[in-house]
Structure 1
Amino acid sequence: MKKIVIAALATLAAASAMAQNNVGSCGWGSKVFEGQRGIFPQVLAATTNGTSGNQTFGITFGTSGCTQDGVVSSSWKTAMYIDGNRVALARDAAAGQGESLDTLAAVMGIKDADRALFAATIKANFATVFANEQQIAANLKSVLAASPELNAYAAVI
């Protein structure tokens, strides 16, 4: 019984830490394991942040790559929208306008002042963004990251 309780608490702590890591993207764990892919580095980064409390401290005091003016965002909505609307999105992206492109901009939180540039950038980089239908989100993120005016939006993908 004691082992089950300990295992349950460890699982809860790890899940909590992973949620913190995904939301904040700051803290020692995100810095130590930056750029590494896969479940193992993610779990280690989340555990580092969760068990030491450094992410909470970092957000509070603006250390460890954390800021106090950050916006909580989620990339899953953007990825799901792209995944479910590939065909319509490709059609609108090629034209540089359309309902699915407007909706993507809304899901990503693109400001009204940046929407025309967003649509034009996607149109101009259509071949790059839609080079591989399994990597549309990653390709879009790269294109936005390369744009000085739109690079802040790359974080939402």
Structure 2
Amino acid sequence: MKKFVALALLAAAGSSMAAQNNVGSCGWGSKVFQGQSGIAPQVLAATTNGTSGNQTFGITFGTSGCTQDGVVSSSWKTAMFIDGNRVALARDAAAGQGENLDALAVVMGVDKADRALFAATLKNEFAVVFGDEHVAANLKSVLAANDRLAVYATRI
């Protein structure tokens, strides 16, 4: 029985993570399990939102921390792009320009007005962003520290 429960939990975790972008930012589940990390809190938050229907209700009526003007987004494209183009991105970031850096800006939805600052920031913070294997997390931290670029940190 324990093996069945464990398998069911793993299956639910996989499907809920595919359907939910780390639970989202609204609904009872995201509020009850806010700040917790790992598979179990994500599965429990997604299950709470899914079984009670509160996230759908919240988005429809603007309750439970949900808004009606939100944009559906996914950070998996950005993470995959960074992982697949790490060397080329590092080369472009070091130069402060290049087609891979431009492509990253497009994938992340960086406004054209912010792209020069985006490229300059990656050049200036090259050692931080590309200092270890955690390029996506490092980039997220660097962008979050910049008042104008912080909005893009949520897209990683």
State the TM-score bracket (shorter-chain normalisation): 0.7 to 0.9
Change (3 A) 1:36 1:129: same
Show the 5 A alignment for 1:73-152: 73-133=73-133, 135-152=134-151
Change (3 A) 1:17 1:78: closer
Name stretches of at least 5 consecutive residues in structure 1 with no aligned partner.
1-7
Aligned-pair identity in percent equals 79
Do the aligned residues in 1 keep the contact of 2:16 with 2:43 (CA within 8 Å)?
no
- Could you say what secondary structure the match of 2:26 adopts? coil
Question: Could you say which residue in structure 1 is the equivalent of 2:64?
Answer: 64
Does residue 31 of structure 1 match 2:31? yes
Give the ranges of 4+ consecutive aligned residues of structure 1 lying more than 3 Å apart after TM superposition.
14-18, 20-24
Question: Could you say which residue in structure 1 is the equivalent of 2:152?
Answer: 153
Change (3 A) 1:147 1:96: same
The one-letter amino acid paired with 1:68 is: Q
**TM-score normalised per structure 1:** 0.84
Name stretches of at least 5 consecutive residues in structure 2 with no aligned partner.
1-7
Do the aligned residues in 2 keep the contact of 1:23 with 1:74 (CA within 8 Å)?
no
Corresponding residue pairs, total: 148
2: CA distance between counterparts of 1:17 and 1:91?
33
Question: Could you say which residue in structure 1 is the equivalent of 2:4?
Answer: none
Question: Could you say which residue in structure 2 is the equivalent of 1:47?
Answer: 47
The one-letter amino acid paired with 2:118 is: F
Aligned Cα RMSD in Å? 2.4
Question: Could you say which residue in structure 2 is the equivalent of 1:4?
Answer: none
2: CA distance between counterparts of 1:50 and 1:17?
12
**TM-score normalised per structure 2:** 0.84
Do the aligned residues in 2 keep the contact of 1:74 with 1:156 (CA within 8 Å)?
yes
Do the aligned residues in 1 keep the contact of 2:23 with 2:42 (CA within 8 Å)?
no
| Most deviating of 84-93 and 61-70 | 61-70
The Cα offsets for residues 28-57 of structure 1, whole Å up to 9 and x where unpaired, read as 211222232211111011011111111111
Change (3 A) 1:17 1:29: farther
1: CA distance between counterparts of 2:123 and 2:17?
39
| Most deviating of 22-31 and 40-49 | 22-31
